[in-house]
Chain A
């Protein structure tokens, strides 16, 4: 029997099923005599302290494993333990009503959970799970049970649950959990995030699942298709086994080339780098076997916070990444605010045409103090690794010269005050606008490298808003107009003796990466997740063949025709798992 849900973590997991039941904690209503009040309040605080210790440990573990952002949910749980109203209500219940801590605590938490259950909004309704998770954690201590043990599986199994709380998720052990399926949840559920981080296949939001599953059943979790098959027959088992073997083959291949260079069969080398946004992602970059970071987006420092980031704060973060990746290069893209990234404390307002408005380098040059603070932080970090920087949204030579001028002033000031930095720091630009494409010869004379941002370049070249649902199918980086812009940029860069990269989403698709290699691009930067597969693709072609594909692609007059060329030429050459993966993905 097949169930359809939402694919939450890729992979195929098959095996015996274990039902993971939500535990029932029995709370009795007990009278506390006045003489026992102080002790009961103390017990309540001790339970909060114990829960706080558990959560801090889990939080630190997840932060180290998956990054600070993923650990924030545990920070929120910790905040619940410190909630002033919760403490007041529980202490009031114990002291003034003579009730036991567990009873009043549960009443307060359940009240919030029950009200959330009535909410129409699905995201918020799901948050009930967080409240209940904290409730159970504290109750176990109040009832003297201690923390719940890790999902206890005697042998590897597929886990089936109504829901996995953030606490449950943190305990998922890849060597025991072959995969999991839950009745509720979304791709953003914490269990899904942890599953992706640990490589555990998962499907969520499968309605009516628990009623159908019993002990002794077997199941297959297809985390690509978002399907769960209960008690598959021999034929279906064979199908899943074959797919799982193909994936295992892929995993072995990718692990085998982890430390190998991204070079074609005949030895043409291309630099493969990763795009990141948060300093903690440096670990994923290294795990992916990248040659460096090709795009460090620095906007997160400026968004979602009430005040400007200081030079020291930025320096510490940039230095951390530069040191972690050394001797590999890290390209910091200076602030790319505006467009859809608005920080109102900077005086930014919502514009009627934001993508053509006050954004990127235009905004930065308007705020030389703010911009110089960031440049100083990047320059200072350059003493601790191999740092490069690049400017976003350049659309004229004048902008580049003014930005270069600010860099020069920062460098002179650092030198004067004897602050160390790398005097050879390379400064490059992003090519994202049609004007930059057509001025690339001139720009290349004033920049050490060009990095083509294909997301914006596609949007500006085709004059298509990629967030517009009606246009989404037309937004296509393989459009010949975009490819010819890339060709022009590559020729201009090489003519000036500069190297050129591509850092849009396009670079992360294996066939497109081969096309870009064939067009002469020297560096590709993509999501860490995509990098091993792109490397596998590069390592399976000859440079001459890639060039031939590029030549033919550039003769086409539509994106459809370009895709047909890529399929015809590359499907037979690229590793089978690259196309197999697309089936259910």
Chain B
């Protein structure tokens, strides 16, 4: 299992468009991916689940991946989140 904590840095937080990008990246991997915030954990490939976390700007989410490409999956999601979903120049 690979896991990491990520801080949401874009002003709008993990809103619908960002959540869409998140699950699209997650969906590229074979591994099972879970995202949690506080004590709630959701399927990282479910956009409703990710939206439901309501992770606003400044909050921390934990990404957990299990499977053959778990490290690459976590790295790709880290890139997306750290890059503020490509939103802010």
Contact = CB atoms under 8 A, between A and B. Distances in A.
Interface residues of B, number: 39
Q: How large is the interface on A (under 10, 10 to 19, 20 to 34, 35 or more residues)?
A: 35 or more
A79 B19 CA distance: 10
Interface in B6-59: 11-17, 19-21, 23-25, 42-43, 45-49, 51-52, 54-57
Contacts of A77: 16
Contacts of A121: 13, 54, 56-57
Given A75-B20, A112-B52, 9 more contacts: A76-B20, A79-B24, A119-B56, A121-B13, A127-B15, A131-B51, A307-B79, A341-B89, A343-B83
A83 interface: yes
Given A85-B46, A123-B12, A303 B75 contact: no
The 7 lowest CB-CB distance pairs between A and B, nearest first, are A304-B86, A76-B20, A121-B56, A306-B76, A85-B46, A306-B79, A123-B12
Interface of A: 72-73, 75-77, 79-80, 83-86, 108-109, 112, 115-116, 119-121, 123-124, 126-127, 130-131, 188, 299-300, 303-307, 340-345
Given A75-B20, A299-B89, A306 B51 contact: no
Interface string B59-89: 0000000000000000111111011111101
Interface of B, secondary structure class, is: helix
A135 to B, nearest CB: 10
A510 to B, nearest CB: 25
Given A121-B56, A124-B15, A127-B15, A304 B85 contact: yes
Contacts of B56: 119-121, 123-124
Given A79-B20, A123-B15, A343-B83, A306 B25 contact: yes
A139 to B, nearest CB: 15
Contacts of A84: 43, 45-46
A252 to B, nearest CB: 35
Contacts of B21: 304
A115 B54 contact: yes
A124 B45 contact: no
Contacts of A305: 79-80, 83, 86
A126 B51 CA distance: 12
B56 to A, nearest CB: 4
A27 B12 CA distance: 33
Given A115-B54, A123-B11, A79 B79 contact: no
Contacts of B42: 85
Nearest to A300: B86
9 contacts: A77-B16, A85-B42, A109-B48, A121-B13, A121-B57, A123-B57, A124-B55, A305-B83, A344-B78
B89 to A, nearest CB: 6
Given A85-B46, A306-B79, A79 B23 contact: yes
B87 A79 contact: no
A112 B48 CA distance: 7
A344 B51 contact: no
Nearest to B19: A76
Contacts of B76: 306-307
A116 B15 contact: no
Contacts of A343: 79, 83
Contact of B47 (A80, A307, A342): A80
A307 B54 CA distance: 27
A85 B43 contact: yes
Nearest to B47: A79
A264 B28 CA distance: 55
Contacts of B20: 72, 75-76, 79
A130 B13 CA distance: 15
Contacts of A85: 42-43, 46, 48-49
Nearest to B82: A344
A281 to B, nearest CB: 15
Given A116-B52, A306-B25, A124 B47 contact: no
A83 B22 CA distance: 13
A124 B14 contact: yes
Contacts of A299: 89
Given A83-B47, A86-B46, A130 B16 contact: yes
A83 B46 contact: yes
Contact of A83 (B48, B54, B87): B48
Contacts of B51: 112, 116, 127, 131
Contacts of A124: 12-15, 54-56
B28 to A, nearest CB: 9
Contacts of B13: 121, 123-124
A73 B83 CA distance: 19
A124 B89 CA distance: 21
A304 to B, nearest CB: 2
Given A305-B80, A341-B89, A76 B17 contact: yes
B14 A303 contact: no
Interface centre among B11, B75, B83, B85 (most CB of A within 10 A): B83
A6 B11 CA distance: 19
A42 to B, nearest CB: 22
